[in-house]
Amino acid sequence: MTGIILLDKPKDITSFGAVARVRRICGEKKCGHTGTLDPMATGVLTVMLGGATRFIELLPSHNKAYRALFRLGTTTDTLDITGKILETREVNVTAKEVKEKINDFIGDINQLPPMYSAVSVNGQRLYDLARQGIEVERKSRQVTVFSIDVLSENEEAGEYVILVECSSGTYIRTLISDLGEALGCGAVMTDLRRTKANGFEIENAVTLEQLEEAVNSGKIFDLLIPVDRALEEYPVIKVSEAQAKRFRNGGELSLERLKYPRMLGFFRVYDPNGNFIGIGEIGQKDCLEIKRVFMG
C-alpha cells in the first residue's frame, strides 16, 4: 500500500502514536508523518505509507495554518494549558488592544523554541531535557507569520480565537506567549487545530475511525492520495521509455538529450504514460541526477 493518508489527528495522542494507529489499521509496516503535532493538538497530519516514505525529506516546505484558542492572564511552563501554571496576572487590556498588538507579530519574527518541543540540542530532544527539569540555551529562529485573524473574542473572560497562516517551523504557543508578554499580562494557548499542511486542507482529512471503516469495507484506496500530489511545487520533466528505465536504475539523464533548459533544483519525473517515477535534481552538472525513485 503506497500513498498518503491525510489524517485528522485526534486530541491526547502523539503524532507517533497516531502513525502507529494508521500502521495497524492499514497493515503497512512503512509509515511516517511529515510534521509533529503536540498531543493536545488536532488536525492535519500528513501520513506517508509504503514507498511514499522515501520522499518525506524531499517534501517542499509548505506554509501551514492553525486555528488557536488562548486565554490572557496565565502562563505555564509548556506555554499551553497542559503545563504547570507559573503565574496568574491581572488582565487590564481590551479586545481592541489585543487586535492592535497582534499586528506586531505579522511578518518576519524571531522565536525562541519552547523547552517542551521536539527540537534537538546536542542530540537530545528539548522535551526530554525539560521533563528532567533541565533548561538549556536555545537559538532563536526567524519564522514568517503571513496573517493573524481574530475569529472570536470574549473580552470579559480574556479569551480569543485566532487563525494563523505561517511558515513551517512556527510555534503557535510561543507566538501566543510572546503576545501575552507584549500585552503585559501573559497568555496561554488552550486549544490548537492545524487546518493546513503540505498543501492539504483539513476538509480533506479523515479520522482514525473513518480510516478503519474504509479498510474494513475495502475502500481504503479511495482515501489514498498519490505521493506526487505533495510534490506539486516541483516542475515536471517527461522522459522517454528508455530514459525512464535508465532513471529507475539510478542513471543520470543528459539535459541535451532531454531537450530541457538548465534550471537548477528538484523536478518530478514522469514516463511517457504520465506515471510518476521519482524526483530528480539538476545541479552543477548538465544532467538530471536521481534523488529518489518511486517504488509504488
* Residues with active-site annotation: 38
Distances in whole angstroms, Cα of residue 127 to Cα of each of 10, 17, 77, 124, 161: 21, 17, 11, 9, 26
Distances in Å between the Cα of 120 and the Cα atoms of 113, 115, 190 are: 10, 10, 25
* Nine cell digits for residue 244: 525512464
CA diameter of the chain: 72
Is 291:281 a contact under the CB 8 Å cutoff? yes
What cell was used for 13? 495522542
- Phi, psi angle pair for 77, to nearest 5°: -70, -25
DSSP annotation of 113: P
Task: Count, in order, helices (H) and strands (E) of the chain.
Answer: 7, 18
Backbone phi, psi, residue 131, to 5°: -70, -20
By the 8 A CB rule, do 1 and 220 touch? yes
Nearest to 69 by CA among 184, 179, 176, 185: 176
Q: Find out whether 43 and 8 touch, Cβ atoms under 8 Å.
A: yes
